[in-house]
A = this chain, B = another copy of it.
Amino acid sequence: MNRLKQAISEKGVVISDGVLKVDSFLNHQIDPALTLEIGKEFAERFKNQEITKILTLESSGIAPSLTTALELGVPVIFSRKKKSLTLSSNLLTAKVYSYTKDETNEITVSKDFIVEGDKVLIIDDFLANGEAALGLTSLVKQANATVVGIGIVIEKSFQPGRDKLEQAGFHVESLARISSLKNKKVGFIEEMVANK
């Protein structure tokens, strides 16, 4: 998605070889027009999957999930992050380890909203080690629902997340795939398919 790559190139800040800051349009300040395009692109890529729900993780996944949901006409559910387990019989929970913060969070979703038979599209802002996405797939499985795909805004392709998700059998679509952040420069993987 060219407009997204352009925003990353122009406004992204490379903090280190592993860390890209996109606070000015995705993670803290949100560019609504770009987010709308991101949603249209996800909807286009997953349009034949008969999606019934979109599942994401608070907070940065909410905006691109909402614009995708507007296109597809399905609800968004955002999973909540908590440091400690809230004991509730009505929650599905999964543990997610964050390499960045070196801490494990519990992510939760109500059993009322992901239910048996649901065809769920998972959306997240970043894919690095894949821990958050795998946690979300675990919530869907616990509900006896199906993950029909995983949509990622920015994939750090030099980290193992995508491989882990594909090895687990999931269909991953990433709108921008970053091959390297070395020397303070963002390198992209150019896809073979026509890529807007």
Contact = CB atoms under 8 A, between A and B. Distances in A.
Contact of A30 (B28, B31, B78, B109): B78
Contacts of A58: 58-59
A32 B112 contact: no
Given A23-B110, A58-B59, A28 B66 contact: no
Interface stretch (A69-77, A161-169, A174-182): A69-77
A113 interface: yes
A113 B24 contact: yes
Interface string A1-32: 00000000000000000000001100011111
Nearest to A69: B32
A171 interface: no
A40 to B, nearest CB: 12
A98 B88 CA distance: 21
A113 B28 contact: yes
B112 A24 contact: yes
Contacts of A121: none
A186 B36 CA distance: 35
Contacts of A113: 23-24, 28-29
Q: How many copies does the complex hold?
A: 2
A140 interface: no
Contacts of A69: 30, 32
Nearest to A79: B28
A156 to B, nearest CB: 22
Given A62-B62, A112-B24, A113-B29, A36 B70 contact: yes
A129 interface: no
A46 to B, nearest CB: 15
A75 B29 contact: yes
